[in-house]
Chain A
Amino acid sequence: MVVNDIEIMFGGQAGDGSLTTGDLIAGVFKRMGLEVYTYKDFPSRIRGGHTNYVIRASEHPNWGMADFVDCLVAFDLEAVEAHLDELRPGGFIIFDNSSEPIPDGVRRSDVTWYEVPLAKIAKSDLGLELVRNTISLGVLSALIGMDRSIVRELVSNAYKRKSEKVLDQNLRAIEAGEQYVERHFAEWPSGYALRAGADGDRLIMMGNDAIGYGALVAGCRFMAGYPITPATDVLEWMAKHVPRFGGIAVQAEDELSAINMVLGAAFTGVRAMTATSGPGQALMTEAIGLAGVLEIPVVVIECARTGPSTGMPTKTEQSNLNHLIFSGHGEIPRVVLAPGTVEDSFYLTVDAFNLAEKYQCPVFVLSEQALCQSKATLPSLDLSRTSVERGKLQTEPVVFGEYKRFAFTADGVSPRVIPGVEGGMHLAAGSEHNDAGVITESALNRRRMMDKRMGKMESMRDDLPKPIIHGDPQAEIAIFGYGSNRGPIGEALERLWQAGIAARFFEFRTLWPFPEAEVRAFVEGAVHVFVVENNYTGQLERLIRYVVGPLEHMHLVNKYDGRPFRPIEIIDPIEKYALLRVPMEVRR
């Protein structure tokens, strides 16, 4: 019997309500005291097309998927055929056989099959086919022992907004699912069970919610964006919440406009941001250079997806790192932060605003579909850990002629006036300018201005979010990674340890300015170095190589199929190489 450790894949067709049911499952697990991670694998369309929602629950946090799925809830044969091989031996399937039976050739014998005519029951007994999702929740609940009163409470919360009738249908659907199990499968235990613990002082939140919340708490009162998956949630979150705090979220006509609006707003002194994904990021490039040279603080949330071009818009990838670090003509100071968990998405977003304002430059928060659209449980967010540091914002009158907007200073940061401040009138020009803002092409001034602006990358060093070193810092095996890979790498570390293999893991939180000294210190004494990332060319691996020089045993563990790593995909190559010296097969 497996207790308190399960990964459920809830398969369905896009737009059929499986999203709500997936959220309900996650909510029940959380209320039963378990740690939850969810992953949405959706097609890029509104209705139809196979979707699945993965919900993982365990006693300790796992910020990623397991090696296998324990339970597949399949509403059609397509879902079975697509995911049967992901099922763990000993796992089980809940299959809606209303319209078609399972053909013999498809059936795997090492998993348990619970075939239930979900749609038929929904239609004939409850009068609404849509509630088949909720019936399946009842079936699942009975098979693994969800707390029945919590299930009912959450179902009520989810549907009470609709109508009395819909709520009643859904509550009866739960009942119907549970009864079906009691009547037909009493002799067939699923092999999985749940023991409720205390929920505790915890939240369940999506990465993008945490970013929106972090921005609000950091004092962001202006957002402009253009809808793009998987970043739209941030604009929607801000549009819903920021007006209550006196601010505004604008839907611009395109990303060119969005980023220029952010610059305009930030020019007036309000904390401002945009959120986008690869294609939008590409359009914003020119204006981000402008923010660099105008020394205007802007925060850009990049929720990466699979590129290039339209790519796979609803799938994950870490292929935009080069773009954030190197894009643009000319050179500007910039910061790239990358949270590895939902919780860190909140704290790093707060940091992003403080860094942007203190160093007057663009700051990127880099997330990915597998993190920004995933929900996870987390401890309540600690607001006392947040603060608003406004740097050299100058709101008191200055003396015109004496005041210089781009004054040369030791740390490269100049006092920043905003429109309305007496005496501070100046030109903020994308053309090279002198300390007073006057456009000039003087060679000497150009050198000094470049030194000033780029020098901020050094003056900010101590302020940048630090990496987290996990595992055994003396181990011969060293792993680098960031973002959504924090979960699977962390889990791999744990399991390698259990298998008697020690490893250390460097979780980047600041990717730029590149934490050179920390990276060098970390690889000290390592024999095998692995870089885990979701892209073809090994963008992070190349950065590391560039900094620490050629390491004989440096390897790329990469994946570029649009799906996040499962721990075994990290453990396998490391184990094979480090123990057996099986050469790594890396493609790029």
Chain B
Amino acid sequence: MAAVLTPKDFATATPSWWCPGCGDYGVLSALKAALADLGMQPKDVAFISGIGCSGKISGYLHSYAFHGVHGRALPVATAVKLANRDLTVIAAGGDGDGYAIGAGHFLHAVRRNPNITYIVMDNQTYGLTKGQSSPTSQTGYVTGTSPQGNPDAPINGLAVALAAGASFLARGFSAHPKQVVELTKAAIKHEGFSIVEVMSPCVTYNKINTYAWFKENIYYVNEAPDYDPGDRSHAFDVLSREGKIPLGIIYQDSRATLESLSHLGTTPLAQLDIVSRSPAYAAMQEAYR
């Protein structure tokens, strides 16, 4: 029996790099707490992140961490899961990473439904490149690249994912740690592709979507006692309504995972014997006689 771990056991010695007050701290501590609560072992966690302030998170989680290129965390994570189902696979990245440069992969990960968790740390700006507008920035948001105000409409990542066939959608607010822990745990436990979008304010560059702003502009869907996360059209309705931002588990259903549909065995691929010369190899040449 492996020892029961605490969130601290998932910390690395690397000092974190984020600005004081950055929303990303809350995401990281919630993730550590969720993994500890679920009884995970660092050696069995593969944590893949994109590029951005948010992408730095992989350096701070004691695990098998992979910090790849901008926008490509999901293909990496999908393949890690296909190759080794014993691993708990988590991907994380920013709104730009996931909804701009990586938007294509986002849709395809949703539709494939691998049993992995994707945490989108949404600060409605490009933090790392110093505050340009992102796909979730509000129209009119003034930045160095949009001095007259961002002309684009923001993307609603969760609604897009729902349309693409997502099987688990949740949204949290990084200043509400307890809820983010619970949402992250539910996401990791979900059999299939689970998305947790965490509103994670950028205190340095986003002076509009601040902690105070969020507190005024969010609500939890389960404040309505009869909210049914299994009701897809209601979830659509909630996600596309004007006004306050819905948080909580917005949608969940059960759908066959990519691994189960891929005709794969359960043995991690790296454990297959490839060193012996299989007699089946020679037999294959007969087709070319």
The contact size tier of chain A is 35 or more
* Contacting pair A420 B80 (CB below 8 A): no
Given A261-B76, A264-B48: A427 touches B67 (CB 8 Å cut-off): yes
Chain A residues with Cβ below 8 Å from B62 are 425
Q: Which residue of A has the minimal Cβ distance to B63?
A: A425
B241 CB within 8 Å of chain A: no
A193 CB within 8 Å of chain B: no
* Contacting pair B79 A427 (CB below 8 A): no
Q: Which residue of B has the minimal Cβ distance to A401?
A: B13
B104 CB within 8 Å of chain A: yes
Given A204-B288, A244-B280, A386-B277: A422 touches B80 (CB 8 Å cut-off): no
* Chain B, range 236-250, C-beta contacts under 8 Å to A: none
* Contacting pair A264 B289 (CB below 8 A): no
B42 CB within 8 Å of chain A: yes
Given A246-B265, A430-B69: A260 touches B274 (CB 8 Å cut-off): no
Q: Which of B72, B282, B285 lies in contact with A257, CB distance below 8 A?
A: B72
Chain B residues with Cβ below 8 Å from A422 are 43
Given A264-B77, A268-B83: A219 touches B275 (CB 8 Å cut-off): yes
Nearest CB of A to B16, in Å: 12
* Contacting pair B275 A261 (CB below 8 A): no
Given A267-B76, A422-B43: A428 touches B65 (CB 8 Å cut-off): yes
* Contacting pair B275 A268 (CB below 8 A): no
* Chain A, range 254-283, C-beta contacts under 8 Å to B: 254, 256-258, 260-265, 267-272
* Contacting pair B274 A219 (CB below 8 A): yes
* Contacting pair A265 B12 (CB below 8 A): no
Q: Which of A204, A245, A248, A258 lies in contact with B262, CB distance below 8 A?
A: A248
* Contacting pair A264 B83 (CB below 8 A): yes
Chain B residues with Cβ below 8 Å from A425 are 42-43, 62-65
Most chain A CB within 10 A, of B14, B45, B76, B280, is at B76
Q: Which residue of B has the minimal Cβ distance to A262?
A: B79
Given A420-B268, A425-B63: A243 touches B43 (CB 8 Å cut-off): no
* Contacting pair A265 B79 (CB below 8 A): yes
* Contacting pair A268 B80 (CB below 8 A): yes
Nearest CB of A to B284, in Å: 7
Given A241-B284, A245-B278, A257-B108: A287 touches B86 (CB 8 Å cut-off): no
* Contacting pair A419 B75 (CB below 8 A): no
* Contacting pair A246 B272 (CB below 8 A): yes
Q: Which of A213, A268, A427 lies in contact with B269, CB distance below 8 A?
A: A268
* Contacting pair A253 B104 (CB below 8 A): yes
Nearest CB of B to A182, in Å: 31
Nearest CB of A to B28, in Å: 14
* Contacting pair B43 A260 (CB below 8 A): no
* Chain B, range 1-56, C-beta contacts under 8 Å to A: 12, 14, 42-46, 48, 51
* Contacting pair A269 B108 (CB below 8 A): no
Given A203-B288, A383-B277, A425-B64: A248 touches B43 (CB 8 Å cut-off): no
* Contacting pair A203 B79 (CB below 8 A): no
* Contacting pair B79 A224 (CB below 8 A): yes
Once bound together, how far apart are the Cα atoms of A390 and B270, in whole Å? 11
Once bound together, how far apart are the Cα atoms of A204 and B287, in whole Å? 9
Q: Which of B12, B262, B284 lies in contact with A213, CB distance below 8 A?
A: B284
Nearest CB of B to A386, in Å: 7
Chain B residues with Cβ below 8 Å from A269 are 83-84, 268-270
B87 CB within 8 Å of chain A: yes
Q: Which of A383, A395, A438 lies in contact with B282, CB distance below 8 A?
A: A383
Q: Which residue of A has the minimal Cβ distance to B108?
A: A253
Nearest CB of A to B224, in Å: 37
Once bound together, how far apart are the Cα atoms of A247 and B277, in whole Å? 16
Given A244-B280, A287-B72: A254 touches B104 (CB 8 Å cut-off): yes
Once bound together, how far apart are the Cα atoms of A205 and B87, in whole Å? 39
A44 CB within 8 Å of chain B: no
Interface flags for A209-242 (1: CB within 8 Å of B; 0: not) read 1000100111101101000000000000000010
B205 CB within 8 Å of chain A: no
Chain A residues with Cβ below 8 Å from B107 are 253
* Contacting pair A257 B75 (CB below 8 A): yes
B59 CB within 8 Å of chain A: yes
Chain A residues with Cβ below 8 Å from B78 are 261, 264
Interface flags for A1-18 (1: CB within 8 Å of B; 0: not) read 000000000000000000
Interface flags for A372-406 (1: CB within 8 Å of B; 0: not) read 00000000110110111010000100000000000
* Contacting pair A271 B72 (CB below 8 A): no
Chain B residues with Cβ below 8 Å from A245 are 272, 278, 280
Chain A residues with Cβ below 8 Å from B69 are 260, 286-287, 290, 430
* Contacting pair A221 B274 (CB below 8 A): yes
Chain A residues with Cβ below 8 Å from B45 are 419
Q: Which residue of A has the minimal Cβ distance to B265?
A: A246
Once bound together, how far apart are the Cα atoms of A380 and B283, in whole Å? 11
* Contacting pair B65 A427 (CB below 8 A): yes
Chain A residues with Cβ below 8 Å from B87 are 268, 419-420
Q: Which residue of A has the minimal Cβ distance to B73?
A: A260
Interface flags for B256-284 (1: CB within 8 Å of A; 0: not) read 00000011110111101011011011101
Given A265-B269, A290-B68, A428-B66: A271 touches B274 (CB 8 Å cut-off): yes
Interface flags for B71-95 (1: CB within 8 Å of A; 0: not) read 1101111111011101100000000
Q: Which residue of B has the minimal Cβ distance to A417?
A: B64
Q: Which residue of A has the minimal Cβ distance to B289?
A: A203
Nearest CB of A to B217, in Å: 34
* Contacting pair A260 B83 (CB below 8 A): no
Q: Which residue of B has the minimal Cβ distance to A425?
A: B42
B105 CB within 8 Å of chain A: yes
B58 CB within 8 Å of chain A: yes
Chain A residues with Cβ below 8 Å from B79 are 222, 224, 250, 260-265, 272
Q: Which residue of B has the minimal Cβ distance to A389?
A: B275
A120 CB within 8 Å of chain B: no
* Contacting pair A270 B270 (CB below 8 A): yes
* Contacting pair B86 A209 (CB below 8 A): no
Chain A residues with Cβ below 8 Å from B108 are 252-253, 257
* Contacting pair B268 A268 (CB below 8 A): yes
Once bound together, how far apart are the Cα atoms of A205 and B264, in whole Å? 28
Q: Please name 16 further chain A to chain B contacts, defined as beta carbons within 8 Å, in addition to the given A264-B80, A286-B69, sorted by A numbering.
A: A203-B289, A219-B274, A244-B280, A247-B269, A256-B72, A257-B105, A260-B75, A268-B268, A287-B72, A380-B285, A381-B285, A419-B87, A430-B51, A430-B68, A430-B69, A439-B14
- In order of increasing CB-CB distance, the 3 nearest A-B pairs are A219-B274, A269-B270, A264-B79
Could you tell me which A residues sit within 8 Å of B by CB distance? 199, 202-205, 209, 213, 216-219, 221-222, 224, 241, 243-248, 250, 252-254, 256-258, 260-265, 267-272, 286-287, 290, 294, 380-381, 383-384, 386-388, 390, 395, 418-431, 438-439
29 interchain pairs (CB within 8 A)? A203-B285, A209-B288, A213-B284, A219-B274, A245-B272, A246-B264, A247-B269, A248-B263, A250-B82, A254-B104, A256-B104, A257-B72, A260-B76, A267-B80, A268-B46, A268-B80, A268-B269, A269-B270, A270-B269, A286-B69, A287-B69, A387-B275, A420-B43, A425-B43, A425-B63, A426-B65, A427-B59, A428-B66, A429-B66
